[in-house]
Structure 1
Amino acid sequence: MSLLSKILADIRTVIAAVLGIFGLFLLICSGFLNGAEEMAKTGGVNANLWAGIALVVVAVLMALWWGVSPGDSGKGSGDSPSDPGAHRQG
């Protein structure tokens, strides 16, 4: 399995990419499309900016989680009864 296939097969990288894209979109929207009318709708809070920052932070954390443990996706832990490598008693 190639490196690109391993990266795309892990759900953490897919989620991190999607959240990062949404976050960047919201940050761009907050920079270019934010006006007095939008600020009045949210009570003076730049909601796109804060939501975009939060999504980018979560995306970075998910990417770091994958980077720290790229092979730990729950497979081969030995705790599952259906795991053929698990030791059986009795």
Structure 2
Amino acid sequence: MSEQTDSGEDRRETGNSSASTKLFDIRTIIGGLFVVYGVLVGFAGIFPTKEGLAKAQGININLWTGLSMLLLGGLFLLWVKLRPLEAPEAPAEEASESAGPIA
């Protein structure tokens, strides 16, 4: 009976580490920030000022930069979706030692 309890606890620990691994995936954070900043900069590019366009020699830099940031953020988030992180497997020796003695 204790073996079933131990294996259940191991499954819960693996599930928790997998959830925390996905939660703190740096690709998600970077992608999210690029999307947010891309929206902000792109919105500023939708309504350019004449002075701003004159400084950039007629190119709407805010719009192009915002769109580029949105694209990059979207690619990061797509990468997370297509190739999710997996928790590393514990070596067999360590797993058997942490389970304790079998009664």
2:39 to 6, 24, 27: 24
Aligned length: 77
Structure with bigger helix share is 2
Higher relative contact order (CA 8 A, sep 6+): 2
Find the residue that maps to 1:45 and give its secondary structure.
coil
**Which has the larger Rg?**
2
Alpha-carbon separation, structure 1, partners of 2:44 and 2:52: 11
Question: What is the aligned counterpart of 1:11 among 19, 26, 30?
Answer: 26
- Show structure 1 runs of 5+ residues with no match: 78-82, 86-90
TM-score (ref. length: structure 2): 0.63
Unaligned runs of 5+ in 2: 1-15, 93-103
Please give the alpha-carbon distance, in whole angstroms, between the structure 1 residues aligned to 2:19 and 2:55: 43
User: How much identity, in percent, do the aligned residues show?
Assistant: 31
Q: Does 1:38 align with 2:52?
A: yes
Mapped to 2, the partners of 1:2 and 1:28 lie a distance apart of 38
Q: Name which of 48, 66, 77 aligns with 1:52.
A: 66
User: What is residue 76 of structure 1 aligned with on the other side?
Assistant: 88
RMSD: 2.7
On the 8 A contact 1:8/1:14 being kept in 2, the answer is no
